[in-house]
Amino acid sequence: MKQVSKAIVLLFFTAFVNGQTLQDVLRYSTNNLSGTARYTAMGGAFGALGGDFGALENNPAAGSVFDNTQFSITTSSNRSTNDASYFGSNYQNKHRDRDFDQVGFVLVLKNSQQNPKADIDLPWSKLSFAFNYQKTANFNNFFMADGYNNRGVDQYFLNNAKGIALENLQLLDGENDSELYSYLGEDYGFNAQQAFLGFQSYLIDATEDTFSNTSYISSVNGGSAGYFHEYETSRDGGIKKYTFNFSGEYLNKYNVGISINRHKLEYRETSDFYESNYSDDSALNAFRFNNELFAFGEGISFQLGGIAKLNKEIRVGISYESPTWFSIIEETTQFVVSDGDDQGNTTIEPNVITSYPEYSFKTPSKYTGSFAYVFGKKGLVSVEYTQVNYEKAKFNEPNDAYLVDQNTQITNNLNSAGILRFGGEYRFGNYSIRAGYIKQDASLKNSDNSATSKSIGAGINFGGSSLDLSVVSSEMMLQQQLFSSGLTDNINLNRDQLGIRLSYILKL
């Protein structure tokens, strides 16, 4: 007998179906250009320079390059333009958001250059302790797409309905949608819930009207131009990184450092899918499918790095960033609405929050080498290369068949990718002008998701404080898959982003 549950409950599944995908892997493993205005204006090419809170993102040795104790705060404003392409149709959307990108404090302790009693130089000329908050990933975005497709969303529901007995999709006397949706999730899992939504909304029907029936057919066909689709997605959240850094300068020539990082992840996505243009012999006129996902978790990582001053002009840097070990929990809600001549408007809204068990995810590690040439007090140029082995990302859940399969998908579809950064700064008096460039290779084997960024900026040094401004223009290629099965076509996205950052630094 079916178990009656509350209208809003927490369900705990033993397997993830339609949860984690390659899009999630890349979303949680890719950092945005963020940090101080000086750092972003120079394209983040700071691995051999240091002396900036943003540089702690590249190389933990950066902490001991600071000349004195400092406090820094950065605010940002971002504007995104998304050009969405779906089967030849194009749609442009714009989105704006504002945030605090960075807040940091560094305590610098300097040793005397000579010990008068021993008459020897002290090897450690400087020690520093730093804390920095930085938003390393910004998920805020919105886009829409529409177009005609020869496949419909019925394929998604038919795919999930395979093997589900008809008796499990029919309401008992006195039973409501929430109770049956909850029961199916607890006893049969995600697939059965999707089958229930498709069957109760009249989008799919059983081939035989018997309790034991396990095969289904579609109740709709596309019109002469195909199925008309509208897809709308709204996202918000990000990854916040809290860095605790210890660094030292040895013999006034070598800087070494270590950072322990705590990461906080929050991600919310609401997608709304609408389908129409059915043929006259279809049971429905239109269909709407709404999904909401909320993911939150915490992670930890560490970094090791060093900077060497080979002479007055040349500096080199090397650093390693460990994987971030995340623990993540996800929650979802769904509802469907259908419109038919015989049935009228039908809404299946279970009002059930599905909470999945916590899972572990490991991002790829990073290796960075950098070079800088300093023209005295006039300025500098810097170049940096980071190698990210995206195929090393992994779900650490060996007993979960779905996540084990996702690890195979990671290996088959992701590769190693390089990030090349250039930056330069020219100083005249108390003023500085800066520029930078970033080229990020594609991390997908079979499609182009590469990205480029160009940046400019300026700063003014007041002596005891400074004010910096940067403008960053980024362009990236993205893809959004409609559903995990059945209707798996992609929306191609060309995203242009313009970010403006303002930093204030106080020297204590």
Instruction: Locate 112 and state its tokens.
Output: 């005397």
Q: Of 127, 95, 131, nearest to 110 (Cα)?
A: 127
Contact 66, 54 (CB under 8 A): no
Q: Which amino acid is at 230?
A: E
User: Given this model, what pLDDT does residue 14 score?
Assistant: 32
Q: What beta strand segments (E) does 215-358 contain?
A: 216-218, 227-250, 254-276, 286-309, 314-321, 325-340, 344-348, 354-355
Helices 22-29 and 401-413, interaxial angle, to 10°?
Answer: 70
Residue type, 309: K
pLDDT score of 121: 59
What predicted TM-score, i.e. pTM, was given to this entire model? 0.90
Angle, alpha carbons 315-368-74 (nearest 5°): 85
* Residue 81 backbone phi and psi in degrees, to 5: -120, 120
| Per-position pLDDT tens, the chain of length 508 | 333 333 333 333 333 334 567 878 888 998 899 999 999 999 999 999 999 999 999 999 999 999 999 999 999 999 999 999 999 899 899 889 988 899 999 999 998 655 555 455 578 999 999 999 999 999 999 999 999 999 999 999 999 999 999 999 999 999 999 999 999 998 998 999 999 999 999 999 999 999 999 999 999 999 999 999 999 999 999 999 999 999 999 999 999 999 999 999 999 999 999 999 999 999 999 999 999 999 999 999 999 999 999 999 999 999 999 999 999 999 999 999 999 988 889 999 999 998 888 999 999 999 999 999 999 999 999 999 999 999 999 999 888 888 888 899 899 999 999 999 999 999 999 999 999 999 999 998 888 889 999 999 999 999 999 999 999 999 988 888 899 889 999 999 999 999 999 999 999 9
The Cα–Cα gap between 150 and 410 comes to: 29
CB atoms within 10 A of CB 303: 23
CA angle 331, 135, 37 (to 5 degrees): 155
Residue 241 identity: K
Cα gap 467→503, rounded to integer Å: 6
The enclosing H or E element of 461 equals: strand 451-461
DSSP state of 364: P
Cβ-contact 76, 117 below 8 angstroms:
no
pLDDT value for 430: 96
Q: Taking CA 391 as the corner, what is the angle to CA 386 and CA 395, rounded to the nearest 5 degrees?
A: 120
- Cα separation, 450 vs 420, in Å, equals 12
Neighbours of 271 (CB within 10 A): 17
Confidence at residue 403, expressed as pLDDT on a 0 to 100 scale: 86
Residue-level pLDDT at 18: 44
In this prediction, residue 69 carries a pLDDT of 97
- Name 62's bridge partners: none
Question: Which contiguous run of DSSP H or E holds residue 192?
Answer: helix 190-200
Q: Which residues pair with 314 in a beta bridge?
A: 373
Cα gap 249→202, rounded to integer Å: 70
CA distance linking residue 46 with residue 305, whole number of Å: 12
Smallest CA-to-CA distance from 365 within 299, 303, 297, 450 is with 303
Residues 398, 149: Cα–Cα separation, whole Å: 38
Pairing of strands 254-276, 465-481: unpaired
